[in-house]
């Protein structure tokens, strides 16, 4: 193992090594978008075994196991935890070239001091050694081991937020804040919509019978999220939309949906456009960041979706039209000086040039890098994807103002992906220096590394406001 993942892993030049070890390695982590559960942080969850901490809820691993022919009982089924771990161990050697192979061994090394390659022969040893280490680990110790400074969870407007309220009083070297994810309130066409409106009415203690009631309830939740230190919204969009309409039209569409009437695709897009524009203006008033995750085609395997549910490894990349609706949407806000700081994430790499150049259309002297081409996301979250995203950003924009990495994960072990990202960043800059494309100036390049790895995100999300010093 020592010859595979050394301390200079992914660092292919002397400059890259200097940049990582002297400028990146010791920096704190700002994980501004993830799917950790606030109650697990609040109650300092401990983990019984390696399956519980490593495989639970991780649809990246589940998807890889299915690709290698593992029965569902050993993935999300009723097999025992050790059986599931052994099944996973048998899959890992089949994943060369997949980022999971790197992540697995980086996590074993960083959290469990294990340098063995995971396979069927080493599985029993790693199971025993890992479980022994877990006896002294918990959510809190894992966050502190990773030098995590800020955690932005992903929260529905109907969540009661009590855990976040209690977290405000937690004495810890890190800060936890909610992020506003109102997807279920935007997707008016979904079967869930009417019942979700009832949940929103209950949590805001009001009747929601009109569109105006609906907006008022959302605004009330935004105010509460803001009081709890929220710094960002997040929106998962299958496709971008910008179908203009009037308030009266949207009021009618909302009422029709509550009455059980069928909506046209134009009705749906009018509702989504009008509502997201109203929300974006509110985010601008709060100085929040608006994150748009664009392009997933979800729940493709109907049979297994019905059996297991969403976020279980049945999603892929969509290919809907993007440039014109995204431009029109952002321009509508910009014309009123109400475009918030915005991060654009694209799932289809075909759209990378569209997104990176679109971000450049709406920058501002008030804040460098106001509109961000977000880090390589989901199916692009690997060496090639991260290199492409950063090199493209450098080509058409400003790499130095990039806000860097996030985990987008449900696992407390995933913070090591920040190390993975930082190593890749340092290697890119080191390679450019070696090839004479940038100055051979370690202080200049080190400044890039530190700002992209930490300081830019800290400033972009205004974290001093939520208590991070």
For the segment 67-89, what is each residue's pLDDT rounded down to a tens digit?
999 999 999 999 999 999 999 99
CATH number of 10-45+143-178+403-469: 3.20.20.140
Band of pLDDT at residue 417, cut at 50, 70 and 90: very high
Q: Do domains 10-45+143-178+403-469 and 182-368 have the same CATH topology?
A: yes
108 pLDDT above the threshold of 60: yes
| Mean pLDDT score, 25-40 | 97
The pLDDT of residue 3: 63
Token representation of residue 223: 């105010």
The pLDDT of residue 349: 96
Write out the CATH class of domain 46-137: mainly alpha
User: Cα-flanking dihedrals φ and ψ of residue 190, to 5°?
Assistant: -75, 150
Mean pLDDT of the chain: 96
| DSSP-derived 3-state class of residue 97 | coil
What does pTM read for this prediction?
A: 0.96
Instruction: Parse the chain into domains and list their residue ranges.
Output: 10-45+143-178+403-469, 46-137, 182-368
Query: pLDDT tens, 357-411?
Result: 999 999 999 899 999 999 999 999 999 999 999 999 999 999 999 999 999 999 9
466 pLDDT above the threshold of 90: no
The pLDDT of residue 135: 96
Are residues 422 and 449 in contact, defined by beta-carbon separation less than 8 angstroms?
A: yes
Band of pLDDT at residue 4, cut at 50, 70 and 90: confident
The fold for domain 182-368 equals TIM Barrel (3.20.20)
Which residue pairs from 379-385 have beta carbons closer than 8 angstroms and sit at least 24 positions apart in sequence?
Answer: 379/316, 379/317, 379/347, 380/347, 380/349, 381/99, 381/408, 381/417, 382/98, 382/99, 383/10, 383/99, 383/424, 385/349
What DSSP string describes 284-348?
Answer: HHHTPEEEEEE-EE----HHHHHHH-SSSS--EE-----HHHHHHHHHHHHHTT-PPEEEEEESS
1 pLDDT above the threshold of 70: no
Percent of the chain with pLDDT over 90: 93
Our separate counts of H helices and E strands in the chain read 21, 9
Residues 6+ away with beta carbon under 8 Å from 163 = 38, 39, 41, 42
Token representation of residue 438: 């940038």
Band of pLDDT at residue 14, cut at 50, 70 and 90: very high
The pLDDT of residue 96: 97
The pLDDT of residue 464: 72
CA distance 78 to 91: 19
465 pLDDT above the threshold of 90: no
467 pLDDT above the threshold of 80: no
| Mean pLDDT score, 451-468 | 84
Classify burial at 459, counting beta carbons within 10 Å of its beta carbon; exposed 0-12, middle 13-18, buried 19 or more: middle
Buried b (16+ CB within 10 A) or exposed e, 85-98: bbbbbbbbeebeee
Out of 81-85, 165-169, 312-316, 412-416, pick the least confident: 312-316
133 pLDDT above the threshold of 80: yes
CA distance 460 to 369: 9
Helix crossing, 59-67 with 99-112: angle to 10°?
A: 130
306 pLDDT above the threshold of 90: no
How many C-beta atoms surround the C-beta of residue 259 within 10 A?
Answer: 8
57 pLDDT above the threshold of 80: yes
| Mean pLDDT score, 255-277 | 98
Token representation of residue 167: 């977290």
| DSSP-derived 3-state class of residue 372 | strand
């Amino acid at each position: 193992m020592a010859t595979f993942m050394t301390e200079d892993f992914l660092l292919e030049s002397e400059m890259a090594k200097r940049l990582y070890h002297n400028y990146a390695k010791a920096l704190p982590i700002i994980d501004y978008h993830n799917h950790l559960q606030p109650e697990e942080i609040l109650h300092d969850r401990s983990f019984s075994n390696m399956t519980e901490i490593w495989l639970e809820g991780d649809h990246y691993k589940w998807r890889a196991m299915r690709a290698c022919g593992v029965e569902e009982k050993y993935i999300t089924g009723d097999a025992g935890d050790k059986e599931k771990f052994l099944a996973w161990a048998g899959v890992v050697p089949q994943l060369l070239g997949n980022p999971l192979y790197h992540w697995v061994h980086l996590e074993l090394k960083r959290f469990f001091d294990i340098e063995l390659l995971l396979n069927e022969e080493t599985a029993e040893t790693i199971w025993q050694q890992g479980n022994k280490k877990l006896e002294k680990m918990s959510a809190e110790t894992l966050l502190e081991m990773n030098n995590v400074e800020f955690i932005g969870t992903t929260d529905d407007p109907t969540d009661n937020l009590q855990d976040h309220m209690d977290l405000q009083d937690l004495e810890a070297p890190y800060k936890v804040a909610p992020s506003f994810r109102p997807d279920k309130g935007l997707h008016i066409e979904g079967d869930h919509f009417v019942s979700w409106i009832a949940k929103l009415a209950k949590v805001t203690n009001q009747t929601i019978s009109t569109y105006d009631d609906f907006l008022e309830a959302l605004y009330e939740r935004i105010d509460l999220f803001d009081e709890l230190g929220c710094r960002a919204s997040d929106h998962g969009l299958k496709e971008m939309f910008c179908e203009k309409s009037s308030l009266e039209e949207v009021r009618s569409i909302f009422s029709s949906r509550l009455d059980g009437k069928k909506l046209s695709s134009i009705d749906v897009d009018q509702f989504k456009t009008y509502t997201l524009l109203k929300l974006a203006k509110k985010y601008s008033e709060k100085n929040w960041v608006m994150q748009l995750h664009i392009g997933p085609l979800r729940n493709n395997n109907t049979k297994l979706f019905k059996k297991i549910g969403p976020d279980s490894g049945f999603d892929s990349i969509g290919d809907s039209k993007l440039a014109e609706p995204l431009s029109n949407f952002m321009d509508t806000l910009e014309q009123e000086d109400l475009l918030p700081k915005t991060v654009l994430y694209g799932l289809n790499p075909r759209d990378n040039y569209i997104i990176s150049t679109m971000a450049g259309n709406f920058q501002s002297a008030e804040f460098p890098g106001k509109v961000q081409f977000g880090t390589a996301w989901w199916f692009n979250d690997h060496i090639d994807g991260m290199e492409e995203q950063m090199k493209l950003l450098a080509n058409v924009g400003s790499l130095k103002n990039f806000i860097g990495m996030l985990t987008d994960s449900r696992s407390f072990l995933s913070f090591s992906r920040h190390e993975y990202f930082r190593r890749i960043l340092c290697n890119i800059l080191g390679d450019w220096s070696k090839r004479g494309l940038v100055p051979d100036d370690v202080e200049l390049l080190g400044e890039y590394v530190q700002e992209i790895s930490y300081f830019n995100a800290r400033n972009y999300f205004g974290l001093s406001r939520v208590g991070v010093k």
